[in-house]
Amino acid sequence: MKGANRARGIALIEVLVALLIFMLGVLGLLGMQSTLTKSQTDSKIRADAAYLASEVVGRMWTDINNLTGYEGDTSCTAASCTEWRSKIGQILPGGGAVITVDEGTGDVSVTVTWTVPGGETHKFVTQTTIAAKTAS
């Protein structure tokens, strides 16, 4: 009788150990899923920032005679730039942008910033040269 009780006790311990190992595996999967979700969100925000920077450069190419209207860190005078800045605030968390223009060389720098939940600030910088149209 003692042997049967002892065998049941060992079987119970084996089941508890198996449950513990299973739970550790599930917790590991949950942690991995959380990390993947955060990475995916960060990637999407980074892609959005790159798209927005490219978009404003495209707008500047179409408004080549008004490049200085895009310059600034919080406001701009070009109508399409104002629309673009409001788009940044809507798409990126804590989003902002700084645009610098060198009229002499046509060099343009666009810096898009955003703050992820948790307070870490990121930025995407793109630089290009927009040459003035020449009369032909």
Q: Within a domain: residue 100?
A: yes
In whole angstroms, what is the distance from residue 68 CA to residue 64 CA?
A: 9
Q: How confident is the model at residue 109 (pLDDT cuts 50, 70, 90)?
A: very high
Query: Which range is least confidently modeled, 47-51, 80-84, 89-93?
Result: 80-84
3-state DSSP of 42-83:
HHHHHHHHHHHHHHHHHHHHHCHHHHHHHCECCCCCCHHHHH
Q: Within a domain: residue 53?
A: yes
Structural domain span for residue 77: 41-129
Global pTM reads: 0.75
Q: Within a domain: residue 67?
A: yes
Three-state secondary-structure class, residue 6? helix
Q: What is the total count of domains within the chain?
A: 1
